[in-house]
Structure 1
Amino acid sequence: MAEVITVTALNRYVKTLLDRNDILYDLALRGEIANFVQNAKSGHCYFSLRDGQCSVKAVMFRSDAQRLAFRPQEGMRVVVRCRVTLYERDGAFQVYVNAMFPDGIGEAQLALEQLKAKLQAEGLFAPEHKKPLPAFPERIGLVTSRTGAALQDIKNVIGRRWPAVRLILCPVNVQGFEAAEEIAAAIGRLDRLGVDEILVARGGGSREDLWVFNAEVIARAAYRCKTPLISAIGHEIDYTILDFVADCRAPTPSAAAELAVPDREEQKRHLWEIQRNMHKNMQKRREICYTKCKDCADALAGDLPRRKLYAGKTDLAALGEALRTNSRICWKDKNRQLAHAVQLTASLSPYQVLARGYGMVAGADGKIRPADQLVEGETIQLITAHRRAQCLVTAVEETDESTQNI
């Protein structure tokens, strides 16, 4: 008997099979739009793709729909990049669309989108790799056609804004896929030449005319370039892969020339402002010095330094007299303290006691010994104020203090 499973398990199993299929994960699908609806609240797009026999439900989320360059319409033939899966809750087989292009340019556009995704994953579009443009370039390299209008536009704008700069033209073909290697080589040649910045420019044209600037070889040459590079391809609405790799993108060649050099009139105004501020600061400092000098002159005219000197002498004399007076009082006080200390020391001296007729007992080694340490038969010294006597202890007797005669 077959194994019994739930509907949830079935849908989950089928979804897993579809998600694991590499072919279905990134698929290019051609079909005709039917039943197109964009949810006003969420922004998600829901529609079907159909051909002569079949149809499949499709979903395009808002984040992807916002990148559409056209408005999908009922019956429009398109090519979509999508992944195929199963909406597990409803068991609905459907495709999730990542990008959509009108059919007819589908293959080329799909290849372009794939190249963009590849280069972006490698970091060629990363902002941290963008180099700043120099403020005052001296030499600018131009990669453009010798006969195109872009060259004349750039020369006119730079000649008006900053005529001191030197333009170095590296002429190339700017149309046709065979021109890609030529443009890439020109970028590398100017980079090695050591110019301050490089302009890659082409005037307006059809999408096919500008397509060469989507070439991978040009994108990688721009990424390897150590010189700041400005991309100016077509008109404001035209975007190529070179625009994403370049350090700066300009909507037109004329706008690129304005970005590449400063405006001399603006610089003149800036220098004039600096000069005016310098004059104002110098005038302010002169006024401050004048005020200080005037204050000094007024002080000298009023004999202020001499009066301050006399006042200082008086104060100094008073301080000197106070110092001398305090010094005498201090000496007297210290002498009195010293005399008192001398008297106290003399009163505590053992020699004062000896002078009154008393004596001290010392051993044979000359060290003073208490009387209770005397031993019969030993020799001692008896020390008085003016005499020393060698004595022999013939007897040691205990005395009774209570009966001792005074």
Structure 2
Amino acid sequence: MAEVITVTALNRYVKTLLDHNDLLYDVALRGEIANFVQNAKSGHCYFFLRDGQCSVKAVMFRSDARQLAFRPQDGMQVVVRCRVTLYERDGAFQVYVNAMFPDGVGEAQLALEQLKAKLQAEGLFAPEHKKPLPAFPQRIGLVTSRTGAALQDIKNVIGRRWPAVRLLLCPVNVQGFEAAGEIAAAIARLDKAGVDEIIVARGGGSREDLWVFNAEAIARAAYRCKTPLISAIGHEIDYTILDFVADQRAPTPSAAAELAVPDRQVLRARLYELEENMHRNMQKRRDLCYNTCKAYADALAGDLPRQKLRRGREQLSALCGALQAGSRASWSEKDRRFRHAAALAASLSPYQVLARGYAMVAGADGKIRQADQLAPGDTIRLVAAHRRAQCLVTAVEETDESTQNI
């Protein structure tokens, strides 16, 4: 019968075997870094080294990490010198790295870079294809796990900021072999459902956990989507291909919810500010109207309009008096001139001469004749003031004014 031993005895025995194997004491390993984490307090580095088929847990203590001439990153191909052992407490097979050198890009990272370059060349990342998010969405589609923390974070934030919106959940697996197809199909389904925007979200995790969101199927589904799409994968430092294709990238699911809906508190503050501005403007206009009306009231109280009316009436009366006086003077002058002209005309009238006893000589045709126009035998008319006589000229004599007899 086999001897019964404790777990501690087993782990200690295996650790002893590994530690006393000279081939495992100083090993050079080539592999790709995955899930790299450096503890902020201790400075120790924890990560996995992997190749196309297997992976091994690795630890690099702070004293050795300080000697690095570069910053290790996920996907980086490196060569490490290490010691193979067993972490006795957890029974974890791992390597302790004391030196690390860059050795190019790992297979997975290389494939990711090639896919990223391909999609970028096809225009899937172009800014002109980005659609703006609606200001006041009514329905938001969610592509995430039904049981994940991302769903609760989004619901809490949206419930606080804009509870009037309706959420349509299309639950999917967010990691694993089949997750890419489910996520791509969920995006297409929500796009046809007529939602105002779509959020694809997953909470934090290792680089391996988030790798599914680098799938080409998801990227092309997001590009074909006519609805504005927000990518919220992992934490702020995590980037996936979906982030570059999406219309908006959020560092966390909670941040995606903040981008998706307005904040009712902010809108309430803006409405209050607008209301206050309206009240201030109305008060200013009221004050202006009040001041104007008060000026008019003061003028009325001071009898200013009546004073102006009285002065106007006095000026009008003076002008009317001056107009009448001028009119009378003008008529008097015109009458004087008319009388003078009439007297002058009367003095020159031949009828006035006839009234004094004179007579005019006219021919048979009625026209006035001069004495030198008369000839013996002519029949003439003598026209006096009150009488007319028809005469016959018997003789015409020349007279001398000096010897003229009447």
User: Which bin holds the TM-score, normalised by the shorter protein?
Assistant: 0.5 to 0.7
Tell whether the 8 Å contact from 2:31 to 2:106 is kept in structure 1 after alignment.
no
Match of 2:284 in 1: 284
Matching residue of 2:113: 113
Cα distance in 2, alignment partners of residues 129 and 321 from structure 1: 88
Residue number in structure 2 paired with 1:169: 169
The Cα offsets for residues 149-200 of structure 1, whole Å up to 9 and x where unpaired, read as 1101111111112211111111111112422122112112212222121100
Q: Alpha-carbon deviation of 1:126?
A: 1.6
1:320 Cα shift? 8.8
Change (3 A) 1:104 1:300: same
Distance 1:214 1:323 in 2: 104
CA positional deviation for 1:304: 2.4
Q: Whole-Å Cα distance in 1 between the matches of residues 31 and 142 of structure 2?
A: 44
Determine the structure 2 residue equivalent to 1:304.
304
Deviation string 1:33-87 (CA, Å, 9 cap, x unpaired) is: xxxxxxxxxxxxxxxxxxxxxxxxxxxxxxxxxxx97479xx9449xxxxxxxxx
Q: Choose 1 or 2 for highest CA Rg.
A: 2
Match of 1:244 in 2: 244
Identity %: 80
- Paired position in structure 2 for 1:341: none
Could you report, residue by residue, the CA deviation over 1:257-308 in whole angstroms, capped at 9, with x for unpaired residues? 1111122222222222222222222222221111111111112222223333
Cα distance in 1 between the residues matched to 2:315 and 2:238: 89
CA RMSD, 1 decimal: 3.6
What do the CA deviations read for 1:65-111 (whole angstroms, capped 9, x no partner)?
xxx97479xx9449xxxxxxxxxxxxxxxxxxxxxx96697112111
Does 2:209 match 1:203? Answer: no
1: CA distance, partners of 2:208 / 2:254:
22
Displacement of 1:113 in angstroms is: 0.5
The structure-2 alpha-carbon separation of the partners of 1:323 and 1:169, relative to structure 1 and needing over 3 Å to count, comes to farther
The one-letter amino acid of 1:250's match is: A
1:136 aligns to what? 136
TM-score by length of structure 1 reads 0.53
Q: Tell me the alpha carbon deviations over residues 353-395 of structure 1, each in whole angstroms, 9 at most, x when there is no partner.
A: xxxxxxxxxxxxxxxxxxxxxxxxxxxxxxxxxxxxxxxxxxx
2:143 and 2:183 in contact (8 A); partners too: yes
Alignment correspondent of 1:355: none
1:261 equivalent in alignment to 2:261:
yes
Asked whether 1:225 is paired with 2:225, we answer: yes
Q: Distance in 1 between matches of 2:247 and 2:322?
A: 82
What is the match of residue 391 of structure 2?
none
Whichever residue aligns with residue 171 of structure 1, its letter is P
1:186 corresponds to: 186
The residue number in structure 1 matching 2:336 is: none
Where structure 1 has 5 or more consecutive residues not aligned to the other structure, the ranges are: 1-29, 33-67, 79-100, 330-406
Q: Distance in 1 between matches of 2:71 and 2:173?
A: 28
Quick one: which amino acid aligns to residue 191 of structure 2? D
**Alpha-carbon distance in 2 for matches of 1:236, 1:115:** 22
The CA distance in 1 between the partners of 2:143 and 2:214, in whole Å, is 16
Residue type of the alignment partner of 1:112: L
| TM-score calculated relative to the size of structure 2 | 0.53
Q: Which residue of 1 aligns with 2:122?
A: 122
